[in-house]
Chains A and B, each alone.
Chain A
């Protein structure tokens, strides 16, 4: 099948795809994990988790393989004294924050991150942040969000983090502007900026910014283009501040990127010619690069375990642009507002599942014997040992995968485990 440069999108839902909703053991990360990439994205920010030793252990197990001269995250570990009475919890938190800011005078934004224990004992971190702002602002801005497992799954931590920044975004003068929402690799941001420049779309703001101090403005003229599909709360609070959402598929693959950019171009009334001209070189480059991996992937069966909410857009890319068959597409959570334009593009009859009962899902996966299984690190090696090729899903959050020039890189991430199996003889 030849790839069309700019596809016709179905206008409305053709058939409501039935979704298997499951409950049981969920093998997913909590939202605290978002800190692992957010601390790199915003280098002037510090993430202080208020939680237990388990929370501290989670983050260091994930990020501690890197050796930090200056860690950019930490945990205020609750002790028995803190649990006994809430009265002095706020004083304790003040003391810990003083200690931290004394050590790290370069911190510009401090996020107090809620966890399961702090949520269960109802420690009011929002109020604490407000109180601390009175002491430290403007030198340090203190914000608060929850990354607890009981409320957030993996990438929802970024949603909660960005959501906490929305109220402090400066008000714009309501002139038209584009806000690209969701963490992007720096190189991808620059590529998109160049494409928007070519089309004459602007001003463009990226949210989150590279420095937490440089907050983008927001107002009635702000149009929101989502780069990541897991930003339900953030989008809703941005809309509450007057912004308009431009619903679109997500910029994965050539097709996804084209429709994503087209959504913005239409909102700016960019002529088709100018649009085509702007994207043409990138599209043709992308197609050449992608073709190699399409051949490796076409006809192969993929099974996606729930992890990041990227699963549906990725499944769409894998099936429509790489020719893969979808056995099951699992996702932790489906927000129809943000996902309908993607679901419409999935092949009819795709088995979608929301939530998880990991043992049953593993049974289904083993029975289907997919060619590649996209799953978390807790399942990847055990499945490999059973003879199944896996692609560990967290890497998809850590790699530049958006946009034309990364379309082939994205496909390569799925082709690599297959290629590796082909190469190894022992």
Chain B
């Protein structure tokens, strides 16, 4: 049993739903108890889809458990086929149905329904949403293409050099993070370098489209969490190479183009050269407004302009699915000049890659789907910005840290009406704005550092966000005694407000005390770096056997450790 306040992924059958809902002509019969239809809302509300997901639920109740739940499966399969006339049907179970073991997939296969039926085995108690989506896509593609797999070691016919290469874009799904606009941006990017798109799947594809996948020269694995298993299978059976670079960030987009150049054997030097010129800052009015320059990223120049200098060394903590976390780490450090103080992912399948990046920055990666563990790591790293998922927004609120969302899980505000890709040149523009916005603006940051007794612009105030300081920031200045009081107060039931975690409290109580003057001086440190300075100073003191931290200790620590 695992205590979960927030879960990073849904159960695997939600992943299967994402595949079914992304596509046309596919129907999913899901053996599930009454109530599991909540998942429809993910699509109709969070993604604001105008149609019901193509999912029929058996919705069994307690009274059915004594009877024939298997018969309910058959009825649902029959009715769904009659009503929706799909080209392919997926049949599977939710977590509760898995317990009663009606084998719905094999039942459906035995019913003589004249379309391919894909039986999904998604272990709900050990696997999760992305795995469910990946597995469903793989089985769907495999079921459809297996009959036309060529004999082993059949070489691919060589493409005539006069014909533009064709690529499949594999991976974008319903409920993915900004998939809708990423596809558009990537298709534009491919057009720029002379590559045609054969099939985009699963988003918008029909089973007939999946049958055309082998026609392409190569596959672009845009979201490895969803697509890598399928791409690998396609490479093995149809000798289609895979482009694995995910074009999130300017550098990654350049690498993506270069990789396609190699894989497709085409000249991409023009696109790469043009992208270099984005860096130079010749952003005169004509260029900014020119429709001809749609394929440009403003991030390099924005990030080089002096207004961004104060971003240098901002301490950032990154968490999300592996693809977005890895991309974010590169952008944050190489393109925005932040310092990475923590990185992690809930995608265990891609833990190795994340660990490597963490190691490069002298960090230990957080590989966990335990919200509480992530929260503890964020508190420990005391970052100035958290780039994470919807769940990190809860953590950041509690700790009073600015936050931007870079990865699923998301909520309705991250399926915006406006064009907002993460990938390609425009994606980098969106990212620059999105990540810098939650930070305090430079001038305000300076002034709050200088004058601390303003009646309007108080500690933690960010006037561009119209927010007052958070409760947690005020608490940050509490002494250890008053933290104890806060807990006592809360435990008597007199206070409903948040209390600090025990993790933080014990860290404060390592036999080190702050003298009154030391503490007063600490309060003069701007709030967003105060947590880190406090921890540094305490570590400095404990390393040297100092038990009472004075003003002097504080500055000695600062001199020894740096800002």
The CA-CA distance from A118 to B258 in the complex, in Å, is 52
B282 at the interface (CB under 8 A from A): no
Q: Which of B13, B44, B493 contacts A382 (CB 8 A)?
A: B44
Whether A93 contacts B99 in the complex (CB less than 8 A), given A25-B58, A53-B10, A103-B372, comes out as no
Q: Which residue of A lies closest to B43 (CB)?
A: A378
**Interface-located stretch among A64-72, A235-243, A272-280:** A64-72
Instruction: List CB contacts (< 8 Å) of A366-423 with chain B.
Output: 376-382, 384-385
Q: Which of A30, A70, A74 contacts B33 (CB 8 A)?
A: A30
A150 at the interface (CB under 8 A from B): yes
Q: Are B33 and A149 in contact (CB under 8 A)?
A: yes
Q: Which residues of A contact B38 (CB under 8 A)?
A: 29-30, 33, 58, 61-62, 378
B297 at the interface (CB under 8 A from A): no
Nearest Cβ in chain A — how far from B484, in angstroms?
11
Q: Which residues of B contact A139 (CB under 8 A)?
A: 491
Instruction: List CB contacts (< 8 Å) of A62-96 with chain B.
Output: 62, 64-65, 67-71, 73-80, 82-83, 89, 92-93, 95-96
Q: Which of A33, A89, A102 contacts B502 (CB 8 A)?
A: A102
B424 at the interface (CB under 8 A from A): no
Instruction: List CB contacts (< 8 Å) of B470-508 with chain A.
Output: 471-472, 487, 490-491, 493, 495-499, 501-502
Nearest Cβ in chain A — how far from B342, in angstroms?
20
Q: Are B496 and A56 in contact (CB under 8 A)?
A: no
Whether A82 contacts B1 in the complex (CB less than 8 A), given A28-B34, A52-B95, comes out as yes
Q: Which residues of B contact A79 (CB under 8 A)?
A: 1-2, 125-126
B7 at the interface (CB under 8 A from A): yes
Q: Are B3 and A25 in contact (CB under 8 A)?
A: no
Q: Which residue of B lies closest to A82 (CB)?
A: B1
Q: Which residues of A contact B10 (CB under 8 A)?
A: 53-54, 57, 61
Interface size on A, residues (CB 8 A): 74
B60 at the interface (CB under 8 A from A): yes
Q: Are B99 and A43 in contact (CB under 8 A)?
A: no
Nearest Cβ in chain A — how far from B89, in angstroms?
16
Q: Are B44 and A381 in contact (CB under 8 A)?
A: yes
A266 at the interface (CB under 8 A from B): no
Nearest Cβ in chain A — how far from B418, in angstroms?
16
Whether A61 contacts B41 in the complex (CB less than 8 A), given A79-B126, A102-B502, comes out as yes
The CA-CA distance from A273 to B124 in the complex, in Å, is 63
A60 at the interface (CB under 8 A from B): yes
The CA-CA distance from A96 to B2 in the complex, in Å, is 7
B259 at the interface (CB under 8 A from A): no
Nearest Cβ in chain B — how far from A48, in angstroms?
8
A119 at the interface (CB under 8 A from B): yes
Nearest Cβ in chain B — how far from A94, in angstroms?
10
Instruction: List CB contacts (< 8 Å) of B438-495 with chain A.
Output: 471-472, 487, 490-491, 493, 495
The CA-CA distance from A43 to B5 in the complex, in Å, is 17
The CA-CA distance from A89 to B2 in the complex, in Å, is 11
Q: Which of B99, B487, B491, B497 contacts A117 (CB 8 A)?
A: B99
Q: Are B487 and A105 in contact (CB under 8 A)?
A: yes
The CA-CA distance from A117 to B64 in the complex, in Å, is 15
Q: Are A105 and B3 in contact (CB under 8 A)?
A: no
Q: Which residues of B contact A116 (CB under 8 A)?
A: 33, 35, 95-96
Q: Which residue of B lies closest to A119 (CB)?
A: B62
Instruction: List CB contacts (< 8 Å) of B389-404 with chain A.
Output: 390, 393-394, 397-398
The CA-CA distance from A183 to B65 in the complex, in Å, is 32
Nearest Cβ in chain A — how far from B222, in angstroms?
24
- Give the interface centre of A89, A93, A385 by most chain B CB atoms within 10 Å: A385
The CA-CA distance from A372 to B39 in the complex, in Å, is 24
Whether A378 contacts B1 in the complex (CB less than 8 A), given A28-B35, A53-B124, A69-B471, comes out as no
Nearest Cβ in chain A — how far from B370, in angstroms?
10
The CA-CA distance from A213 to B76 in the complex, in Å, is 46
Nearest Cβ in chain B — how far from A85, in angstroms?
13
B267 at the interface (CB under 8 A from A): no
Q: Which residues of A contact B372 (CB under 8 A)?
A: 103
Q: Are A151 and B61 in contact (CB under 8 A)?
A: yes
The CA-CA distance from A74 to B126 in the complex, in Å, is 19
A197 at the interface (CB under 8 A from B): no
Q: Are B37 and A108 in contact (CB under 8 A)?
A: no
Interface size on B, residues (CB 8 A): 75
Q: Are A77 and B1 in contact (CB under 8 A)?
A: yes
Whether A53 contacts B126 in the complex (CB less than 8 A), given A69-B472, A211-B493, comes out as no
B383 at the interface (CB under 8 A from A): no
Q: Which residues of B contact A378 (CB under 8 A)?
A: 37-38, 40-41, 44, 52
Q: Are B96 and A52 in contact (CB under 8 A)?
A: yes
Q: Are A53 and B34 in contact (CB under 8 A)?
A: no
Q: Are A68 and B397 in contact (CB under 8 A)?
A: yes
Q: Are A70 and B59 in contact (CB under 8 A)?
A: no
B551 at the interface (CB under 8 A from A): no
Q: Which residues of A contact B393 (CB under 8 A)?
A: 67
Q: Which residues of B contact A29 (CB under 8 A)?
A: 35, 37-38
Q: Are A60 and B7 in contact (CB under 8 A)?
A: yes
Q: What does the 1/0 interface line of B51-79 toward A look like (CB < 8 Å)?
A: 11000111111101100000000001001
Whether A105 contacts B491 in the complex (CB less than 8 A), given A56-B4, A150-B34, comes out as yes
B271 at the interface (CB under 8 A from A): no
Q: Are B42 and A61 in contact (CB under 8 A)?
A: yes
Q: Are A381 and B45 in contact (CB under 8 A)?
A: yes
Q: Which residues of A contact B322 (CB under 8 A)?
A: none
Q: Which of B36, B124, B412, B501 contacts A149 (CB 8 A)?
A: B36
Q: Which residues of A contact B7 (CB under 8 A)?
A: 53, 56-57, 60, 75, 77
Q: Which residues of B contact A77 (CB under 8 A)?
A: 1-2, 4, 7
Q: What does the 1/0 interface line of B394-426 toward A look like (CB < 8 Å)?
A: 100110000000000101110000000000000
Q: Which residues of B contact A44 (CB under 8 A)?
A: 493, 496
Q: Which of B57, B128, B496 contacts A53 (CB 8 A)?
A: B128
A222 at the interface (CB under 8 A from B): no
Whether A61 contacts B46 in the complex (CB less than 8 A), given A52-B124, A54-B94, A69-B498, comes out as yes
Q: Are A27 and B37 in contact (CB under 8 A)?
A: yes
Q: Which residues of B contact A57 (CB under 8 A)?
A: 7, 10-11, 14, 39
Q: Which residues of B contact A100 (CB under 8 A)?
A: 3
A121 at the interface (CB under 8 A from B): yes
Whether A53 contacts B11 in the complex (CB less than 8 A), given A92-B1, A103-B501, A382-B51, comes out as yes
Q: Which residue of B lies closest to A84 (CB)?
A: B125
The CA-CA distance from A65 to B391 in the complex, in Å, is 10
Q: Are B1 and A76 in contact (CB under 8 A)?
A: yes
Q: Are B49 and A381 in contact (CB under 8 A)?
A: yes
Whether A26 contacts B37 in the complex (CB less than 8 A), given A56-B4, A57-B10, comes out as yes
B380 at the interface (CB under 8 A from A): no
The CA-CA distance from A111 to B50 in the complex, in Å, is 37
B359 at the interface (CB under 8 A from A): no
Q: Which residues of B contact A153 (CB under 8 A)?
A: 34-35
Residues of A within 8 A of B (CB): 25-33, 43-44, 50, 52-54, 56-58, 60-62, 64-65, 67-71, 73-80, 82-83, 89, 92-93, 95-96, 99-100, 102-106, 108, 116-117, 119-121, 139, 148-151, 153, 211, 213, 359, 376-382, 384-385
Residues of B within 8 A of A (CB): 1-7, 9-11, 13-14, 33-42, 44-46, 48-52, 56-62, 64-65, 76, 79, 83, 94-96, 99-100, 123-126, 128, 372, 390, 393-394, 397-398, 409, 411-413, 471-472, 487, 490-491, 493, 495-499, 501-502
Known: A103-B502, A106-B493, A377-B45. 15 other contacts (CB 8 A): A25-B37, A30-B36, A53-B10, A61-B38, A64-B409, A65-B413, A77-B1, A83-B125, A92-B1, A95-B1, A102-B502, A116-B96, A149-B36, A378-B40, A378-B44
Can you name 19 A-B pairs with beta carbons within 8 Å? Answer: A28-B34, A30-B38, A31-B35, A33-B35, A52-B125, A56-B4, A65-B412, A75-B3, A92-B1, A106-B495, A120-B65, A120-B96, A150-B34, A150-B60, A150-B62, A153-B34, A377-B45, A378-B38, A378-B40
Closest 8 CB pairs of A and B: A30-B35, A149-B35, A385-B50, A378-B40, A106-B490, A92-B1, A52-B95, A116-B96
